[in-house]
Amino acid sequence: MLHQVLFIFFGLICVAGAVNLLVQRHPINSALSLVVVMGALSLIYLLLGAEFVAAVQVIVYAGAVMVLFVFVIMLLNAGAEERTRGSRIALWMGGPAVAVLAGLIVYMMFKNQQQFNSVSIGNFVSSPADNTHAVANLLFKDFLLPFEITSVLILIAIMGAVVLARRES
Partner 1 sequence: MNDTNLNLWIIPVLPLVGAAINGLFGRRFKNGMVSAVALLFTAASFAYAVWAAIQGTHLGLPHNEALPFPWIVAGNFNAPFGFYLDQLSTVMVLVVTGVGFLIHVYSVGYMAHEGGFYRFFSYLNLFMFFMLTLVLANNYLLMFVGWEGVGLASYLLIGFFFLKDSAADAGKKAFIVNRIGDFGFLLGMFLLIGKFNSLNFDAVFNGLKGVSPEVGWGVLTATALLLMVGATGKSAQVPLYVWLPDAMEGPTPVSALIHAATMVTAGIYMIARSSPIFSRAPHALEIVAFIGCLTAIFAATMGMAQTDIKRVLAYSTVSQLGYMFMACGVAAYSAGIFHLMTHAFFKALLFLGAGSVIHALGGEQDMRRMGGLRTRIPVTFWVMTVATFTIAGFPPLSGFFSKDEILWRAYLNNPVLWLVGVITALLTSFYMFRLWFMTFFGDLRLGEVDIGEDAHKAHAPVQSQHSAAAHGHGDDHGHGGVHESPWIMLAPLVILAILSIVGGWVGIPEALGGSSHFEHFLAPALVTPETLGAVQQAAEGSTELVFAGISVAAALTGFLFAWLLYYKRPELPDRITARIHGIYTMVAHKYYVDEGYSLLLIKPLLALSKYVFWRGVDQQIIDGTVNGAASASRGIGNGLRQMQSGNIRSYAAWVAAGGVAVIAYMIWWGVGR
Partner 2 sequence: MVPLSWYLVLSAILFCLGVSAFLLKRNIITIFMAIELMLNGVNLSFVAFANHWHQLSGQVFVFFVMVVAAAEAAVGLAIIIAVFRTRETLNVDRVNLLKL
H/E segment holding residue 86: none
Q: Segment 93-132, which members bind partner 1 (CB under 8 A)?
A: 93-94, 96-98, 100-101, 104, 107-108, 111
Q: Segment 133-162, which members bind partner 2 (CB under 8 A)?
A: 134-135, 138-139, 142-143, 146, 150, 153-154, 156-158, 160-162
Nearest to 66 by CA among 31, 20, 22: 31
**Nearest CB to partner 1, comparing residues 87 and 127:** 87
Q: Does 19 bind partner 2 (CB under 8 A)?
A: yes
Q: Does 31 bind partner 2 (CB under 8 A)?
A: yes
Residues 6+ apart with CB under 8 A from 48: 119
Among 88, 145, 165, 169, interactor with partner 2 by CB under 8 A: 165
Angle 7-9-15 from CA coordinates, rounded to 5°: 95
What span, in angstroms and rounded, lies between the C-alpha atoms of 15 and 91? 22
What span, in angstroms and rounded, lies between the C-alpha atoms of 95 and 105? 16
Q: Does 39 bind partner 2 (CB under 8 A)?
A: no
Alpha helices in 24-65 (DSSP H): 27-47, 51-56
Query: Could you tell which of partner 2, partner 1, none binds residue 111, using a CB distance below 5 to 8 A set by kind?
Result: partner 1
Q: Does 92 bind partner 2 (CB under 8 A)?
A: no
What span, in angstroms and rounded, lies between the C-alpha atoms of 93 and 71? 33
Phi and psi, residue 77, nearest 5°: 55, 50
Q: Does 78 bind partner 1 (CB under 8 A)?
A: no
Q: Segment 51-90, which members bind partner 2 (CB under 8 A)?
A: 52-53, 56-57, 60-61, 64-65, 68-69, 72-73, 75-76, 78, 81-87, 90
Which residues in this chain contact partner 1 in the complex, by CB under 8 A? 86-87, 89-91, 93-94, 96-98, 100-101, 104, 107-108, 111
